[in-house]
Amino acid sequence: MTEEVLVTRGLTKRYGEQRAVDDVSIRMERGRVYGLIGSNGAGKTTLMRMISGLAIPTAGTISLFGSDAERPRQQDLARIGTLIETPTPYGAMTARQNMHVHRLIRGVPDPNVETELLELVGLADTGRKRVSNFSLGMRQRLGIALALISAPELLVLDEPVNGLDPAGVVEVRRLIRDLAIERGITVLLSSHNLPELYQTATDYIIVDRGAVRRTLTLAELDAQTQRFLRIEAPDTERLTTVLEQGLGTSDFTVMPDRSVRLTSHLDDAESVLRTLVRQDVWPTAFSPEGESLESFFLTVTGAGRS
Ligand SMILES: Nc1ncnc2c1ncn2[C@@H]1O[C@H](COP(=O)(O)OP(=O)(O)OP(=O)(O)O)[C@@H](O)[C@H]1O
């Protein structure tokens, strides 16, 4: 049975006339990784702050871990770990000293958790190095370790890969996926860049101007954004035979209109065409089609509007 970790209904936050978050109703299940995607100012941080108990909603409700009226809200909030905006470890201290201070602040009795989490995020060997000398990626990983100190069931991470170099992005992505798979932690993480978050999340929530524009799973996102070569030829059977035997691929689908969608060789369209022509298959249509992640995001959010 799926376990609901979070349900919001009509969640709204107004600052004066402005609706930073506007009537947001979302649902999150245990062990999944939710990517909250939106441009700057879309309302991601405000939504995460409300979920984490750091901001009070103007309207709407938040139910955490199937919360009921009997249980104090503080008890539910204690089951959330957050890294919102830039992580705030103490720069003059080492990673371990930061872990120690946070453990005491959070009232976690077991000192072993410090080493265990530093190992988990790959910072166990940083010794006497001060955090002010850490790279941004190391700081983000320390921020995640600090957020994990009280063994949260829901982890809320605001832009955890923002500003990281490609290697840093890969490291943090892997860490987040492992947390979900190995520890069953539910993760909500935000980004303004869909391609950057792609494949880290199992589910995507696309927001724009405070409102949810679209929610979809990774598989649905893939189906929406798969790029392909669209090929038409007078003899479809001959075309597919040449793709199979001449090109050695079976990554294609024959569509009802008899056109063929080839999903391999996207970066090598020229050799596809050459192979076809050599085998005397003369395409009447041959074009790359489908949507990129970026253009899908722009379409959903209506960006590019005036
Ligand atoms: N404390 C505040 N007072 C007034 N307006 C605010 C406050 N916090 C946020 N806003 C406004 O609400 C809107 C949403 O802001 P928010 O920070 O949630 O967006 P975001 O998607 O996290 O953007 P970014 O990626 O730039 O952090 C913005 O227009 C912002 O200016």
Closest CA to ligand 1's atom 11: 20
Q: How many domains does the chain have?
A: 2
196 and 238 housed in the same domain = no
Closest CA to ligand 1's atom 2: 15
- Backbone conformation region of residue 87, classed left if phi is above 0, alpha if psi is from -120 to 50, else beta: beta
63 and 212 housed in the same domain = yes
199 and 252 housed in the same domain = no
Read off the CATH number of the domain in which 267 is found. 3.30.70.100
Q: Which residue, of 223, 238, 254, is where some domain finishes?
A: 223
Closest CA to ligand 1's atom 10: 20
Q: What is the DSSP letter of 129?
A: -
In this structure, the residues whose C-beta lies within 6 A of any atom of ligand 1 are 15, 18, 20, 38, 40-46, 192
52 and 159 housed in the same domain = yes
Closest CA to ligand 1's atom 24: 40
Burial group, residue 105, by CB count within 10 angstroms (0-12, 13-18, 19+): exposed
Residue 306 pLDDT level (bands cut at 50, 70, 90): very low
Q: Is residue 198 part of a domain?
A: yes
Q: Which residue, of 223, 239, 263, is where some domain finishes?
A: 223
SS3 state of residue 276: helix
pLDDT score of 69: 67
Q: What is the pLDDT of residues 89-114, one digit of tens each?
A: 788 899 999 999 999 988 899 999 99
| Per-residue pLDDT at 305 exceeds 70 | no
Q: Is residue 300 part of a domain?
A: no
What does the angle CA 52 – CA 57 – CA 61 come to, to the nearest 5 degrees?
A: 85
Ligand 1 centroid–CA 266 distance in Å is: 39
Q: What is the largest CA-CA distance in the chain?
A: 75
218 and 246 housed in the same domain = no
Q: What is the pLDDT of residues 23-64, one digit of tens each?
A: 999 999 999 999 999 998 999 999 999 999 999 999 999 999
Q: What is the pLDDT of residues 203-230, one digit of tens each?
A: 999 999 999 999 999 989 988 888 889 9
Read off the CATH number of the domain in which 136 is found. 3.40.50.300
Comparing 38-52, 74-88, 144-158, 235-249, the range with the smallest average pLDDT is: 74-88
Q: Is residue 298 part of a domain?
A: no
201 and 236 housed in the same domain = no
Structural domain boundaries, residue 172? 4-223
